[in-house]
Amino acid sequence: MRYTSRGMRRRRNTDKWEVTLSHKDPVTGERVTSYHTVEAKTERQAEKKRDELIMELERKGAAAGSKLLVTEFLDMFLEYKEKAAVVELSTIRGYRHEAKLVCKYVGDVKLSDLHIAEVNEFMAGMTADGYSPKSVAGCFRLLKQALKWAVAQDMLTKNPCDFCKPPKRVKTPINTLNRADRTRMLQLARAAGTQPLALAIELALTTGMRRGEICALRWSDLGDDCTITVNHAFGLKDGGFYLKAPKTDSSVRTIPLTGRIYDVLCAMRKDSLRILADFGVRYADPFILGTQESDSRPYNPQLLGKEFAAFCKMNGFDCTFHDLRHTFATMMIASGTDVRTVASYLGHANVAMTLNTYADVDPDAKRAAVSKVEDAFDVDMSSIVNEAMGEEEPAAVGVTFTVEQLEVMLAMARRAEGAM
């Protein structure tokens, strides 16, 4: 950040000098004029003070000569992010929520006055108000990212967040349905026939697809080899949902279907083609769970979440729709399925992500794994049997010594006692 002197004049009958400086705004590119006051008895001293002032302002960055508040700066940063299209609109929506929380604590602080103490106080304030470590850490990461951009734009010379540490994130246990509950839920969904909610539940329980991926499925995604391909998903932005590419490159995947759900979908596709033909409508690849017309309207993911919440309340389930994805992954790992296969079902970028998320499998599966330990030995591991005596009942287990061994042990104990 370069400052240029545009003039200097002494105020009448005082030792105060008014210094006019200008610099180029790194964000807008416009020339900005600022006015400062220095004290000096002579013009030469005033020029020296002016030069020192310029050096100090250039060291601090553009924010030093600006009244820009943190709330205004974050708006500027998010606008840049959105226009640059470097992140998804759904991510921008999450950023705006986090920025609102940050501004609740430090929004009225000038950007130039935001130091390490203010950052630590804002995190302490969120924690004291009951926000979880995960929420505090998310807000901190957004602020750190924004201030890093400010440094790159010469608005700041250092990022105070580099010297702060957010609270340690506590890993929240995932919520999954046990065998009885997931079986009952699947039975209830199948009893509802081909209702969109029922099909969405069965697809989530048997494939692990995300809510937005299920709602974005089209008939062209249904293969002839009992598979379905995830090519799109719905993301949530300000103002509603939008169709987008899946979360990551690995999220574009082909998933095998169970025979029952595949037969149901094939029958539904056949009916859809027949209905469209009867009405003389050209086939336009409708959404599977949406309206069957040329201009197909999808099953709104937000509506799916609300209807599923009502379904759970009516039937005594305690879970969200996303928990069905967790349930699928957990039951697959618990059944002994290779982790790499589970990761490909879920569309995870790597196997480590799957392991980190689902390391703690179903407790019943852990107990069942003992049988694999027993199978590794060619002896009976189920009970302790005195084979030499031929007893059927378990014998007491202990350590026995001969009389000679006991006498030696007593003698050693007496010698040790005398030495003390």
The answer as to whether 126 is a domain residue is yes
The answer as to whether 260 is a domain residue is yes
pLDDT at 410: 80
Residue that terminates a domain, selected from 60, 88, 107: 60
The answer as to whether 405 is a domain residue is no
What tokens were used for 4?
Answer: 């240029």
pLDDT at 321: 96
Task: Verify that 74 and 102 share a domain, yes or no.
Answer: yes
Task: Verify that 86 and 192 share a domain, yes or no.
Answer: no
Task: Verify that 83 and 126 share a domain, yes or no.
Answer: yes
Do residues 231 and 212 lie in contact, with contact meaning Cβ atoms separated by under 8 Å? no
Using CA atoms, how far apart are residues 187 and 167, in angstroms rounded to an integer?
43
Could you tell me which residue, 58 or 333, shows the higher pLDDT?
333
Helices (H) and strands (E) in the chain, counts: 16, 7
The answer as to whether 377 is a domain residue is no
Would the pLDDT of 268 be above 80? Answer: yes
pLDDT at 229: 94
Task: Verify that 11 and 37 share a domain, yes or no.
Answer: yes
When pLDDT is cut at 50, 70 and 90, the band that residue 26 belongs to is low
The answer as to whether 92 is a domain residue is yes
When pLDDT is cut at 50, 70 and 90, the band that residue 301 belongs to is very high
Hey, which of 291-295, 318-322, 416-420 has the most confident mean pLDDT?
A: 318-322
Lowest mean pLDDT among 47-56, 307-316, 318-327: 47-56
Mean pLDDT of the chain: 85
Domain assignment of residue 188, given as a range: 179-357
Would the pLDDT of 106 be above 90? Answer: yes
Task: Verify that 110 and 258 share a domain, yes or no.
Answer: no
Using CA atoms, how far apart are residues 194 and 33, in angstroms rounded to an integer?
67
Task: Verify that 15 and 120 share a domain, yes or no.
Answer: no
Task: Verify that 41 and 156 share a domain, yes or no.
Answer: no
Q: Percentage of the chain surpassing pLDDT 90?
A: 47
Task: Verify that 274 and 327 share a domain, yes or no.
Answer: yes
Task: Verify that 185 and 320 share a domain, yes or no.
Answer: yes
Residue that terminates a domain, selected from 60, 87, 107: 60
Task: Verify that 185 and 326 share a domain, yes or no.
Answer: yes
User: CA of 156: how far to CAs of 34, 72, 100, 115, 322, in Å?
Assistant: 17, 15, 22, 11, 41
Would the pLDDT of 264 be above 80? Answer: yes
User: CA of 164: how far to CAs of 116, 124, 145, 153, 300, in Å?
Assistant: 7, 12, 13, 21, 41
Give DSSP secondary structure letters for 361-392: --HHHHHHTHHHHHHTSSS--SS---TTTT-S
What tokens were used for 186?
Answer: 């699947």
- Tell me what the mean pLDDT of segment 300-327 comes to: 95
When pLDDT is cut at 50, 70 and 90, the band that residue 281 belongs to is confident
Residue that terminates a domain, selected from 104, 129, 163: 163
The answer as to whether 370 is a domain residue is no
pLDDT at 389: 46
The answer as to whether 385 is a domain residue is no
Using CA atoms, how far apart are residues 114 and 143, in angstroms rounded to an integer?
11
Whether the full predicted model's pTM is greater than 0.85, yes or no, is: no
Instruction: Give me the CATH number covering residue 307.
Output: 1.10.443.10
Using CA atoms, how far apart are residues 314 and 320, in angstroms rounded to an integer?
14
When pLDDT is cut at 50, 70 and 90, the band that residue 59 belongs to is low
Q: Percentage of the chain surpassing pLDDT 70?
A: 86
Instruction: Give me the CATH number covering residue 145.
Output: 1.10.150.130
Task: Verify that 193 and 336 share a domain, yes or no.
Answer: yes
Task: Verify that 188 and 329 share a domain, yes or no.
Answer: yes
- Tell me what the mean pLDDT of segment 292-315 comes to: 92
The structural domain count of the chain equals 3
The answer as to whether 412 is a domain residue is no
pLDDT tens per residue across span 173-228: 889 999 999 999 999 999 999 999 999 999 999 999 999 999 999 999 999 999 99
